[in-house]
A and B are shown apart, each in its own frame.
Chain A
Amino acid sequence: MTRYFSKISVSVVFMSIFSLANIGFAQIVKKDTVQKRLSIGIDIAKPVIYMIDKNKFEVEGSISYSNINNFNPIVEFGLENVELSQSDTIKTYEYQSDGKFFRIGFDYNTFRRNLFGENNMVFFGFRYGYANQNHSAKNIIINDKFWPKRYTSLSTQEIQTHWLELTSGIKVQFFKYFAAGWTVRFSYIIDQQNTSSVKPYYIPGIGKGAEKYNFGFTYSLYYTFPL
């Protein structure tokens, strides 16, 4: 439970910090205008989570374009490295996975009451995602009460995953060119090519790989500038 609360606390702290920065930036209300903008984002939750949990290192960035129609094309991409290991009397293993991913799609902005010149968003979106990863494991020992222990390993296997994703979230501008916001993601794996029967524990860009359905979360910092 401590771990859950840590993750939630980190998110809340970030939300609070960036929210407090907004005070004093209220401007004269004018007719809402959505300018053409380009946003470059980086997920800042993942490095923070890595400080708590050293097993999984992820980096994720995004480039999005917002226009007058509120359909904002977006490309997201990232890397993931997972190293898990245990060694005790019940089980022993060393697992490793390296992968990369991208998502491409759009966000539809439903928030139309921006202050002049601001770019706050309440959005719903859709993505197609692709991930390519290699995973392997060695020194696997599985204990058994009644039969001999199993000693085995998993040679390096390549896995390619395709998925579709529904997204929703918010993006709040807190300085002239900077915004922050979170996105929740509901993904569904539509296809997976795996050269072995062993499922990857994590899939880059999705999360846990055991199920076809997954919920995910990103909290990003954006540099947004008008075109």
Chain B
Amino acid sequence: MLVILSLYHNLGFEKLYMRYICPRENKKKTQQNIEFVAKTIIYKFYGITIQMQYPLKYFILTIFLLLSFFSCTDSSDCFYVSNRKVRLTFVTANGKTIKDTTISKFSIVTSDSLPLYDTASGQQIGLPLSQVADTSTFYIAFDSIATDTLTFFYKRNLELISPECGFTTRFNLEHLKYSKNNITSVLFIDSYVDKDIEYGVNYKIVIRKRTDFKKK
């Protein structure tokens, strides 16, 4: 229907209407009145009286309308449900300068001895936090020659992500306790554990240089 109405207006049928149809119905009226009546009919045909008289306003309103439709829809953020991980980046320190570094070989297990990384290499890791406790502990073995312990303390919040995805647990990091075998210090970056942090960082873990690794 709207397509037909658009053609009606855009292809000049409106003028034909005014010239041939309106005069027959409104012979005694002035041309100005005829045009106004015809235009009004057309405006109302669209159901939108401003469409032709206020094209800019109509455009803006249409954008608002479309935005409102999208805002009403449920964004399926189910990704977060299975990816609520605290993000860590390994760095080395040289004086006050820190530099991202890649660990060639490391393994990580949970406090329940569940392996998360097995002889992996990388610069950044994601550690899933427990939803049933306010702390989660992990053991990191660097190059199979030394092990450090990381214990995260956090607050848990319940959130309904969407009708499709259901509830999930949001984490706000409060504190990190760590051993100092091959970790020298920790830099806090962001407390919020979110899906967007996949490419960001919660903590930077400053490790000793490879040659300085302590033996087990």
Contacts and interface: CB of A to CB of B under 8 A. Distances in A.
Nearest to B60: A168
B166 to A, nearest CB: 3
B131 A150 contact: yes
Among A8, A27, A146, A154, chain B packs the most CB atoms within 10 A around the CB of A146
Interface stretch (B49-57, B182-190, B204-212): B49-57
Contact of B46 (A19, A91, A140): A19
A93 B166 contact: yes
A154 B136 contact: no
A143 B168 CA distance: 9
A144 B167 contact: no
B159 interface: yes
B71 A207 contact: yes
Contact of B33 (A19, A29, A145, A168): A29
Contact of A150 (B37, B50, B69, B132): B132
A190 interface: no
Q: Which 10 A-B pairs have the closest CB atoms?
A: A19-B47, A91-B166, A22-B44, A217-B68, A15-B47, A215-B71, A150-B131, A147-B130, A184-B64, A215-B68
Contacts of B41: 22-23, 26
B6 to A, nearest CB: 13
A208 interface: yes
Contact of A122 (B2, B49, B136): B49
A28 B54 CA distance: 23
B164 to A, nearest CB: 7
B114 A146 contact: yes
Interface residues of A, number: 62
Interface of B: 1-2, 29, 33, 36-38, 40-41, 44-50, 53-54, 57, 60-61, 64-65, 67-74, 81-82, 110, 112, 114, 116, 128-132, 136, 157-160, 162-169
Interface string A20-49: 101100111100000000000000000000
Given A86-B166, A142-B168, A145-B128, A216 B45 contact: no
A143 B167 CA distance: 10
Contacts of B61: 168-170, 184
B128 A144 contact: yes
A185 interface: yes
Contacts of A154: 158
A115 B40 contact: yes
Interface in A106-122: 111, 113, 115, 120, 122
Contact of B64 (A93, A143, A168): A168
B68 A201 contact: no
A170 B50 contact: yes
A95 B40 CA distance: 48
A7 interface: yes
A137 interface: yes
B165 A91 contact: yes
A16 interface: yes
Given A15-B47, A93-B166, A150-B169, A185 B68 contact: yes
Contacts of A216: 68, 71-72
A122 B50 contact: yes
A173 B20 CA distance: 26
Contacts of B157: 197-198
